[in-house]
Copies of this chain bind each other. A is one copy, B any other.
Amino acid sequence: MREIADLSNAASVLQWDHEVYLPAAGGADRARQVATLSGIIFEKQTAEPFISLLKNLSATESLTWEQKTNVAVTRRHISRKQKLDKNFVEQLSNATSNGYEAWISARKSNDFSVFAPWLEKIVALKKEEAERTGSWDHPYDALLDEFEPGMKTSTLEKLFGEIKPGLESLIKRIEKAPQTDDSFMHGFFEKEKQWNSGLDVLKLIGFDFSSGRQDISAHPFTISLGSKDIRLTTRINEENFHEMLWSCFHEGGHGLYEQGLDKDSCGLPKAEAASLGIHESQSRLWENHIGRGRPFWNYYYPILQKTFPEQFENVSADDFYRAINKVKPSLIRTNADELTYHFHVIIRFEIEKELIAGKLSVNEVPQRWNSLCRQYLGIDVPDDASGVLQDIHWSHGSFGYFPTYSLGSFYAAQFYQKAKNDIPDLEAMMSKGDSKPLLDWLRSKIHSQGKLYNSEDLCRKVTSESLNIKYFQEYAEKKYEAIYKL
């Protein structure tokens, strides 16, 4: 399993480099290299001696609970792989590498049709994957299961159904209140100063640069290239201070999770994230509860004012806090506020379900996208680049991924409330720029547990109850009622 981890990490290095440093003409070779590696990883994961070994281990009484769990989680993962074959894995790898290249040019040329043929291939392969991996209530369940083991389409429909009315009414109340001014976030923010402020943020939340680094890419992401090599990326828009700032908190949160996994268990489930929903809970917690919270800025806003005196000299910390929490439906998911954000997720959830169920064809996607944007965000989409082409995920074949973003927010609210209960001076320490108590709590309660528990069990272990969206609802209402004086 360590050998498989080595090869997976090697493939991650190739993917990281693809998105960060690869020369323009290098894409085709790189696609083939990753496909070759993926094929070998697949062969090793499904090789007969390995399968037998796992089977024998699972019948071995003398193992500890942790060892048994490592075996059981691995068997579950491998049994899904066994239903595919090497040819399928290489095809998918090739389609997504080339699909990524096509998505890049499609977005650049604002032309969905450049991406469409590859998206078609990818959707066909994901449908095939759903068919081959089991009998599911809904074929989309098969894809959700990869990112959020056990999650069902019907559960998500229920969750989103419950959260929608409250969110819609809160957003409506906010729309009627006096609007926040955040114009000072859209001046000119010099690239290098932004970069340095981003590094400050990462250091303050506890990201360890001896075991990681940050680079620039078109779409920010976090990837683990080894147990002590966690890479983050950000992007910098000199005319909008939001982009770099939130990507640093967000990817930094992912990075802290990866850096907190058990380094000695490399290759085993204990050293893996519980699920993407839990992963996202960590990025959301740092992004929304810390980065968009008030205490952190007691410490860091005066420093930021010194870095950007022209922009912030005459802006109070409270005005800055209101600006970074401005609620306004907008086109781009990654720039959305934490309330309207969930409608972006719902749009993608609807489209993915329909695509995978064969109820929507690829060429109908842009139109469906635009009509859902109108319905949920009240916005007309001006072009594909800022509409259906804005996200990287489909080019990666990541169907079933978006819902984990919302799950992450809901888990984050529940975890953060519990952390505040457990650490009474958490926010007082944060006001002094000290994030250690919170990080230590997350390390011990969540990071170090790896994948020994699934999301549900972990949530119960940490908070003594199942995922409960009331924590998110209460948090959102309390916060935004105060900000907008509702």
Contact = CB atoms under 8 A, between A and B. Distances in A.
Interface string A385-409: 0000000000000000000000000
Given A226-B30, A229-B29, A24 B266 contact: no
Interface stretch (A32-40, A121-129, A437-445): A32-40
A212 interface: yes
B6 A37 contact: yes
Contact of A33 (B24, B210, B226): B226
A211 B7 contact: no
A211 B36 contact: no
Contact of A23 (B17, B30, B36, B210): B210
A213 interface: yes
Interface in A196-245: 208-213, 215, 225-229
Interface stretch (A8-16, A111-119, A368-376): A8-16
Contacts of A9: 29, 33
At the interface, is chain A mostly helix, strand, loop or mixed? helix
Protomer copies: 2
Nearest to A266: B29
Contacts of A21: 213, 215
A106 to B, nearest CB: 19
Residue with the greatest number of chain B CB neighbours at <10 A, chosen from A211, A225, A266:
A225
A3 interface: yes
B6 A32 contact: yes
B229 A36 contact: no
A22 interface: yes
A229 B13 contact: no
Contacts of A11: 10
Contacts of A25: 208, 210-211, 228-229
Given A14-B10, A32-B6, A24 B210 contact: yes
A226 B26 contact: yes
Interface residues of A, number: 37
Contact of A29 (B3, B30, B36, B228): B228
Nearest to A33: B6
Given A23-B210, A23-B213, A210-B23, A226 B10 contact: no
A229 B26 contact: yes
A6 B226 contact: no
A30 to B, nearest CB: 6
Contact of A36 (B7, B30, B209): B7
A258 to B, nearest CB: 12
Contacts of A3: 36
Residue with the greatest number of chain B CB neighbours at <10 A, chosen from A17, A226, A266:
A226
B23 A228 contact: yes
A36 B33 CA distance: 16
Interface in A91-107: none
Residue with the greatest number of chain B CB neighbours at <10 A, chosen from A3, A212, A229:
A229
A9 B225 CA distance: 17
A7 B208 CA distance: 31
Contact of A37 (B2, B7, B213, B227): B7
Given A10-B37, A26-B228, 4 more contacts: A2-B32, A6-B32, A9-B33, A10-B10
30 contacts: A6-B32, A6-B37, A7-B37, A9-B29, A10-B13, A13-B33, A17-B17, A17-B225, A21-B213, A22-B229, A23-B209, A23-B211, A23-B212, A23-B213, A23-B228, A24-B210, A25-B208, A25-B210, A25-B228, A26-B211, A26-B225, A26-B226, A26-B228, A29-B225, A29-B227, A29-B228, A29-B266, A30-B226, A33-B226, A40-B40
